[in-house]
Amino acid sequence: MIPVILSGGSGTRLWPLSRSSYPKQFLPITGEKTLFQQTLERISNLNQSLINFQNPIIVTTESHRFIVAEQLRQQNVNAKILLEPIAKNTAPAIAAAAELALSYGEDPVLLILAADHVIQQQEEFNKSIAIGLAAAEAGQLVTFGVVPTAPETGYGYIKAAETIQTAATTQPYIVEKFVEKPDLDTAQKYVAEGSYLWNSGMFMFKASVYLQELEKYNPAIAKNARASVEHSKNDLDFVRLDKNHFEQSPEDSIDYAVMEKTDKVVVVPLNANWSDVGAWKSVWEVSDKDSNGNVLRGDTIIESSNNTLVHAQHRLVSVLGLDDVIVIETSDAVLVANKNKVQDIKKVVEKLKSTQRSEVEQHRKVYRPWGSYDSIDSGDRYLVKCIVVNPGQKLSLQMHHHRAEHWIVVSGTAKIHKGKESFLLTENESVYIPLGEIHALENPGKVPLELIEVQSGSYLGEDDIVRFEDLYGRA
């Protein structure tokens, strides 16, 4: 078996914590570890004495590749990182992963998982995977349906051909049909009937079987996925799909492209406290609560409040006399919302996009493959950053057309490349980089390098960078 983890979502419904440059799957939303890292742990906790695992395939985007690589390193997991040049939904992404898996010389079973789900009962998850594995090895396309706990209108449903007997389930159920997200009355009927399951977006099948069915029902996706892998390029830890072929692929979900059309699909019930944590209310539901139903993270004080979620990142947040509210504090934005209205956060995000506000794209602190920077102050012609460079890492050799830079070392040792000279700077020492000067910064030491950068000039955007050399393939 090869686990395939889809990690390309943007997670805007968890704004302001989740942003397009650092979405929810890479954040510690429900615990100390990120949702992506929890997914990796869930795989490692499967019964490996019964399942022969290979290293997972992670499907992600160009902009998130270094976040994925770093979080894999933190978990001590080796994986193939497959980079989509453009988002085309799940059917092409899974097809590319299947082609890559087949290129290893075998026909493995693929376990398709989203990077941003919460599953709280590992043993129940293990049982469902074991049932699905037998069906997948027999040539069936397996989907996992979550046993509903409420008439949820935010999920699609899968109707089994018979009533679900969860406790006695030892084999999959034949799928009668897939249905779209229902209204409340319809959802209540689904739950009462007993043969409907939430569509989890998790699947299992042999790589060859999925591709055969995809070829039958959507040959253009299959053709372009195959070509994009055949013409892919290896870049450091990444496999870059060929852009020209992948862009030609139709955009479609695996449900529409294959699962709703094939006669090989079966569903395995999953009763493991699953959630896609698609909104802040879902985060409240799956989190540990105090005696008043409150979920508190960070530096918080709460009084005379019930069933409330408070998430503080950078300062004290106090809540007094409020029930059923969501309060999310970050370094540059604060959200206060009624818990039952959080699905409308997308309206806030749309307004931010329409006015080109940076808060929808990235946090004040931005992570890079070499470390991070925090934009701590700015004006019309200046920008001040706190930069941290990890040991042994180096920023690209670059120059700027519109700005000069002044670097002051706070701690650690910096190796400066300025024009044709190279030299070391230590604590309380500084250097000036004039506009147009070719330069680079690296940390030759064993501890993080921290410095203050003051930019000045007519334009201070991140796209005013001309790279000549780069360790991370960005030149």
Long-range Cβ contact pairs of 123-127 (< 8 A, separation 24 or more): 124/270, 124/271, 124/272, 124/273, 125/42, 125/46, 125/270, 125/272, 126/45, 126/46, 126/47
The single-letter DSSP state of residue 251 is P
Asked if 173 contacts 269 with a C-beta cutoff of 8 angstroms, the reply is: yes
Number of Cβ within a 10 Å radius of residue 253: 18
Greatest alpha-carbon pair distance for the chain in Å reads 76
pLDDT tens string for the chain (475 positions)? 999 999 987 778 899 999 988 899 999 998 889 999 999 999 998 866 567 788 999 999 988 988 999 899 999 999 999 999 999 999 999 999 999 999 998 899 999 999 999 999 999 999 999 999 999 999 999 999 999 988 988 899 999 998 887 766 778 999 999 999 999 999 999 999 889 999 999 999 999 999 999 999 999 999 999 999 999 999 877 999 999 999 999 999 999 999 999 999 999 999 999 999 889 999 999 999 999 999 999 999 999 999 999 999 999 999 999 999 999 999 999 999 999 998 899 999 999 999 989 898 888 888 888 999 999 999 999 999 999 999 999 999 999 999 999 999 999 999 999 999 999 999 999 999 999 999 999 999 999 999 999 999 999 988 899 999 988 877 7
CATH class of 365-469: mainly beta
Amino acid letter, 220 = A
Length of the chain: 475
What are the residue boundaries of the structural domains of the chain, listed by start?
2-275, 280-347, 365-469
H or E element: which one contains 43? helix 35-44
Question: Is the fold of 2-275 the same as that of 365-469?
Answer: no
pLDDT at 145: 94
Q: Where are the beta strands (DSSP E) in 167-299?
A: 173-179, 196-206, 233-235, 238-240, 265-270, 274-275, 295-297
Number of Cβ within a 10 Å radius of residue 195: 15
pLDDT at 311: 96
Angle at 333 between CA 328 and CA 339, to 5 degrees: 30
For residues 71 and 204, give the distance between their C-alpha atoms in angstroms, rounded to a whole number.
24
Tokens of 95: 């097809």
Q: In this structure, what is the dihedral angle of CA atoms 407, 411, 413, 419, given to the nearest 10 degrees?
A: 0
Could you confirm whether domain 2-275 is CATH 3.90.550.10?
yes
Asked if 161 contacts 174 with a C-beta cutoff of 8 angstroms, the reply is: yes
H or E element: which one contains 168? none
User: What's this model's pTM, rounded to 2 decimal places?
Assistant: 0.88
